Structure formats: C-alpha cells, structure tokens
Amino acid sequence: MTNDPLNSDRRCTGGGEPIFAVGDAADDDRYQFYMVRGVARLSDGSVAVADRGTKSVRIFNPMGEYVGSMGREGEGPGEFRDPYLMWALPGDTLWVGNSRPWHFNVFTVAGEFVRLVRPNPAYANPSSSGGVLSNGYSVNVRREGGGDDYRTPRDVLVDAHTRDGELIGTLMALEGRRYGPPTGPINFVLDPLFEAAPSVDATGTTIAVANGRDPEVQLLDNEFRLRRIIRWHDSDRDVTAAHVNAWREDYLERRGGEEGRSPVTDLMVSEDRPVADHFPALSRIAVGRDGRVWVRRYPKPQESPGWLVFEADGGFLCHFEPVSGLDVWEFGADYLLGTREDALGVESVVIFPFQQPEDAGAEVPEGS
C-alpha cells in the first residue's frame, strides 16, 4: 500500500500530564531506577520494569504502587548478568533478554521462573532489535562481516527462532552500515555521515522490517510470510552542503563548543568523513501492541523528527510529534509507555495518553 502522509494534515495528540509515573521516590529504593532496560504494560494496567542496576524486574500496579520483583544478579536460570529488553506475551508471561551470551529468562507475572531460552546457534552479543511474538517465536538480529573501506556494508541478519530457541532460519539479510578503518590516536571507527541503518521490530503477530534507506516497511506475520508492504512518498531527501555544515555546528555546540573539542569530536566533524548523498527515510520503526506501525522519520539537521503512524492494514493514520523528553518503549492503542530523565538524571517510568484523530476510521485518500 502506498501512502502520501507528507501531504496530510491528520495529526494524533499525546502528552500533557502522565497517567502513570514511578521513579521519583527518593526515600524508597523500590521506586528508584538505575538504567531501565525494558518496560511492558500488563493486561490489568500494571507495569513491569527491567532495571540494569538492580538486575531485576519490578512490577507496579496501575496506581504506581510496588507489587514485587523477580530475578537477581547471577549466572543461573532466572538470574541476570545484564537484563536487556522485555516483552509481555498473552497471559502476561514476561520474556526478559539477558546477556552475554544472549538468552531469555521467562517468568510468570507472579514472579515464578518458568524456563531459560537460548538461541541456537548461540549469540555472543545481544540481539540489536527484534522481539518475541505472541506464539513464543523470537526474532533476533545480528551483524556480520563488513569492511573498513567505507564501501563494504555489514550484513544485518534477521533470524527466527522457535519457543525453545532453535533456529528456524534467516528471514532476510539487509545491508547495514559501512565503516572506515580505525582512525586517529584512539583508533576510532566511523561510518559515513547520514548513513542509513536497518530497523526491525516484532510484537504480537507482526514483524516489521525496514532497510532505513527507502520509505517503506515490510510486514510479516507470525508464520514469517510477507503480509504487506507499506510505502509512502518522500522525495525531498537530498543532502546539501548546508545540511552538513548545520550538523557540524550542532554537534560542536552539544559538546561545549571549541572548549569541548576532543580527538573524537575532531574525527566526527572532519571534512575527510564521507557523507551520504541522501538522508535515510527513517531512523526507527515500532509495532504497537494494537498492530499499528510507527515510523520515526530521520532527523535532518535542526529539525525535530516526527512519527508517521500507520494502521495495521497499512493505511496512514496520522502524524505524531514526540512527547518532549520521552523515550518510548511501548506503543499502545491509547497510550505511550516509556522512560524520561529529569534535570538531575533521575529516571522515571511514565505513561502518557495517546489520542487518534477525531475522524479516525474515515477513508483517507491514498496514492497509487
């Protein structure tokens, strides 16, 4: 399905006051977080939080009250070396990623450890994206190969595994980033400026895959069959010298100007760094708990990137401007669940309401 969202004024709204918030209780460490690595909303409105600092998953009821914890630091079943990402499946079963090597600890919502699932062959590093589907199949993403000549991309391999971790097969191989040789006194490795990168997400019964370069998302079902391709028109993506200069100025300013320059800064803004001819079409895709597809547009210099929201059938729903300071981990039918930090760096987990356009459900003109 081809859409023309850039000529649409349909907008969704969100933000305002959060309808759920935990993480700012200075006198109770049960409500304090030390690097959140995953969040998930459960069927009764409770929220599970995977926290790297405490090596545990904590549950908070819909009022934000602490209910209990599961997991602890360790190397055994049900223990965490480094919790990373989390998915809630039907029945509120929690699949929590853990590394290294990459595997899943599976818990009931009551905190009972169910089993450990290791992808086979083993993943030395955590999956860079992907997810766990409602049938227990997991989608894991790994990178392989690549050169050091700015020309040979690293392969991004999207693998599917059974509920027990056995490899079903590689669903597709995507062209990843290109990198140059180690450079400078610290052997820093760079990719070209404005380089595109693939994005993969899997939730419920949907796997979404995008190469990052083209304005399209492929949707597969939970049996790994191509179900739909969402495309949209976006032709204004040529990179100009003005874009490059603006990016360099912004980068230097964020790092304290000339006083904040370092060997890495010099390499990042160097005129010897290659520059892509075109901006990527997107920087991230996500599948909502309701099957909608969220596409974060790639941020051009000095522009705030918004989201394009598509219905599960591929039709364009709306534009959505990000909630300031919110890092969204889960997209619901009427909520956004994520994390944010205050001026002191204190993390909190919050839910904001999300409202679709009043005319949602009406026919929206599409392209050819």
Please give the pLDDT value at position 95: 98
Supply angle C-alpha 35, 37, 39, rounded to 5: 115
Contacts 24+ apart (CB under 8 A), 260-265: 263/184, 263/185, 263/186, 263/188, 264/184, 264/186, 264/188
pLDDT 10s digits, 237-288: 999 999 999 999 999 999 988 887 898 999 999 999 999 999 999 999 999 9
Mapped to the 3 state alphabet, what secondary structure does the chain carry?
Answer: CEECHHHCCCECEECCCCCEEECCCCCCHHHCCCCEEEEEECCCCCEEEEECCCCEEEEECCCCCEEEEECCECCCCCCECCEEEEEEEHHHEEEEEECCCCEEEEECCCCCEEEEECCECCCCCCCCCEEEECCCCEEEEEEECCCCCCCCEEEEEEEEECCCCEEEEEEEEEEEEECCCCECCCCECCCCECCCCCEEEEEECEEEEECCCCCEEEEEECCCCEEEEEEECCCCCECCHHHHHHHHHHHHHHCCHHHHCCHHHHHHCCCCCCECCECCCEEEEEECCCCCEEEEECCCCCCCCCEEEECCCCCEEEEECCCCCCEEEEECCCEEEEEEECCCCCEEEEEEEEECCCCCCCCCCCCC
pLDDT tops 80 at residue 368: no
pLDDT class of 367 with cuts at 50, 70, 90? very low
Phi and psi of 243, rounded to 5°? -60, -45
Question: What's the average model confidence in pLDDT over 99-110?
Answer: 95
Distance CA(253)–CA(249), nearest Å, equals: 6
Question: 258: which residues sit within 8 A by CB, 6+ positions away?
Answer: 252
Please determine, for residue 360, whether its predicted confidence score (pLDDT) is greater than 70. Answer: no
Q: Specify the pTM.
A: 0.94
Note the pLDDT of residue 131.
98
Confidence of residue 227 (pLDDT cuts 50, 70, 90): very high
Q: Which amino acid is at 363?
A: E
The pLDDT mean for the chain works out to 94
CA–CA gap between residue 22 and residue 18 (Å, rounded): 10
Task: Tally the C-alpha atoms within 13 A of residue 261's C-alpha that lie toward its C-beta.
Answer: 9
For each of the domains in the chain, give its residue range(s) and CATH number, in order of start. 2-239+275-355 (2.120.10.30)
pLDDT tens digits along 56-93: 999 999 999 999 999 999 999 999 999 999 999 999 99
The pLDDT-based confidence of 362 (bands split at 50, 70, 90) is low
Q: In this model, does residue 156 exceed pLDDT 90? A: yes
Between residues 33 and 304, the one the model is more confident about: 33
Closest Cα partner for 138 from 176, 77, 93? 93
Please answer whether residues 175 and 155 qualify as being in contact, where contact means their C-beta atoms are separated by less than 8 angstroms.
yes
